[in-house]
Amino acid sequence: MHYDEQRKEEQQAKTTNTIEVNMTTKYHCYDSCNKCSGVNEYTVTDSLDGHMLECKTKCKNCGFTDYWAHGFFESSQNIKSKCKTYSF
């Protein structure tokens, strides 16, 4: 293998690694409607040591009901998410 070819492969490997490192998970805000981005009312259904794990939600604006668990809305399986998000 020529030096130039080896260098090109090394650069591609670095680029691939950089892309993987920069990817972040976007969690759904439970108080933001997944259908219209409006404000949700919520009822906690599961918690641990005072931290909410799951809740039922209903939008004050459009009336959409959903279920939020461990950072994600159940409806995301069927619709494009329009809720606010956050990352760590």
Among 10-14, 32-36, 56-60, the range scoring the smallest mean pLDDT is 10-14
Which pLDDT does position 23 carry in this prediction? 78
pTM, two decimal places: 0.72
Given a cut of 60, whether residue 17 has pLDDT beyond it is no
* DSSP per-residue letters across the chain: --HHHHHHHHHHHHHHHHHHHH----EEPTTB-TTTS-BEEEEEEEEETTEEEEEEEEETTT--EEEEETTEEGGGGTS---S-EE--
Give the pLDDT confidence of 24-47 residue by residue, as tens digits: 999 999 999 999 999 999 999 999
| Distance between CA atoms of residues 72 and 75, nearest Å | 9
